[in-house]
A and B are shown apart, each in its own frame.
Chain A
C-alpha cells in the first residue's frame, strides 16, 4: 500500500504524483501527455471535494485507479497509444536507468513487450495489482466490476506475461 495522505489533503504528494504518471505511462499514454493526465487526476480529486464527497480513504490508491481509467480511455478514444517497449528501448542506457546489468534490461523489455500485447482491460488490472499494489477486492471495488472478472483478467494477463518471460529465456 502506498503512502497515505491526511483526509483534508487536496493535492497529491510528489510520490503519489510519480506513481500516477507511471501508471499512465505503463498504460500506454505517451510521454508528452503524462503531465496532462496527472492534472486530470488532480482535477477529479478537486471536483470530488467540490461535490462535498469525503476524500478517498487512500488517496494514492484512488489516484492510480483514476489514472488507469484515463489510460484505458486514451486507448479506446484511438489516440496514438505509445508502445511501452519502443519507448523503453529509446530511453534505456545501461548507466542511467536499468540497473542490474544486461539481464535486468532484457527482463524489463520482455515485460514492456508483454504490456503492449495485453488488451486494455487486462493491462489495467495488472498494473493496478502489481504496480499500484491494490488488492483484488480493492480493484473490484474501485473499478465497479465483479471480483471474478478481476481475477479472470489478472490471470490472463499474468499468464501472458509469464509466458513472454519464458519465451525470451529470461526465466
Chain B
C-alpha cells in the first residue's frame, strides 16, 4: 500500500500523515510548503493524542477488576411490570427500582457537571435515584450529545450470533431527537437488558454508538422522564456536544 493521500506539490510525494507516523525527516521542499506543514502539524497532534489515549485505555483495561453485582437473567415472563434490575458498572453499583439503566454517556456527563440540576452529585448517587428521576434525560448536556431519543414499541428481538447482545427493532411512536425521525429504528443492546416484543420503550443512543446507554421500559417509568425530557429538550438544542 502506498500513501498517496494528502500529497502536495513540492514535497517529493511525501505524505504528511506518513511522515508524522514514521518520524521521517522533512525535506526543504516540504518545509517550504505551508499547506503541507499545516497538515503535518495536524497529523503529529493527532498521533500524540492517539498515543495518550492508548495509554489511558491500556491502563483502564488492566486495572484490577472491581467486584460486580451479578446481572439478573432476562425476565421471560409477560406482562409488562416493574423489573428489579441490578447492573454493576465498574466501581458504580446500580440498583434501579425500575428498569432504569445508565451507561458510560451518563457517567461522563456527570463527571463534567453537565447537568445543572445534578452538578455535584456523584455518579453513584445519580445511578441510584428512584424511578421517578429522569436520569440523564433531564440533562440538556446529555441530550445535546445524543443522536437518537425516541419512544416506541419493540416489534422484534433477534440474538446477535456469538455475542451476548440482541438486535432490537423499535416501532417509533414519538421521536424526540431528531424531531422528525424514522418510523422504525434498530439498535443493538446487551442480552441482559431483557427486552421483549411488545415492550414500550424510551431509549437514548449517544453519538458514535450503535447501542443505547439509557432506556426505560413501561409507561410508569417513562412518564416522569418524558416530562423532564420535553422540558429540557429546547435548551439542549442550543448546546454543542463538545
Judge whether A169 is part of the interface by a CB distance below 8 angstroms.
Answer: yes
A154-B207 CB under 8 A given contacts A95-B91, A102-B108, A112-B57: no
Report how far A127 CA is from B58 CA in the complex, Å.
Answer: 10
A-B CB contact pairs (8 Å), 5 listed = A92-B104, A105-B107, A158-B50, A168-B207, A171-B49
Q: Which of B43, B61, B92, B207 contacts A25 (CB 8 A)?
A: B61
Q: Is the CB of A168 within 8 A of B208?
A: yes
> Mask for A99-113, Cβ within 8 A of B = 1, else 0?
001111111111111
Report how far A34 CA is from B63 CA in the complex, Å.
Answer: 11
Q: Is the CB of B61 within 8 A of A104?
A: no
Q: Which of B47, B57, B89 contacts A93 (CB 8 A)?
A: B89
Judge whether B73 is part of the interface by a CB distance below 8 angstroms.
Answer: no
Judge whether A146 is part of the interface by a CB distance below 8 angstroms.
Answer: no
A positions within 8 Å CB-CB of B: 18-19, 21-23, 25-26, 31, 34, 80, 84, 87-98, 101-113, 115, 127, 129-131, 135-136, 151-152, 154-156, 158-159, 161-162, 165, 167-169, 171
A131-B51 CB under 8 A given contacts A31-B61, A92-B107, A93-B92: yes
Q: Is the CB of A26 within 8 A of B109?
A: no
Closest Cβ of chain A to B126, distance in Å, is 11
Judge whether B230 is part of the interface by a CB distance below 8 angstroms.
Answer: no
Q: Is the CB of A98 within 8 A of B208?
A: no
Judge whether B236 is part of the interface by a CB distance below 8 angstroms.
Answer: no
Q: Is the CB of A25 within 8 A of B107?
A: no
Which residues of the partner chain B approach A107 to less than 8 Å between Cβ atoms?
49, 53, 56
Q: Which of B51, B56, B61, B90 contacts A130 (CB 8 A)?
A: B51
Closest Cβ of chain B to A139, distance in Å, is 11
Beyond the given pairs A95-B91, A97-B56, A105-B111, 12 more chain A to chain B contacts, judged by CB atoms under 8 angstroms and listed by A's residue number, are: A26-B54, A92-B104, A93-B92, A101-B111, A102-B114, A106-B108, A107-B49, A111-B53, A112-B57, A136-B22, A152-B2, A154-B22
Interface positions of B from 44 to 71, Cβ below 8 Å from A: 46-47, 49-51, 53-63, 65
Q: Is the CB of B21 within 8 A of A167?
A: no
Which residues of the partner chain B approach A110 to less than 8 Å between Cβ atoms?
53, 208
Q: Is the CB of A18 within 8 A of B62?
A: yes
Q: Is the CB of A92 within 8 A of B90?
A: yes
Judge whether B239 is part of the interface by a CB distance below 8 angstroms.
Answer: no
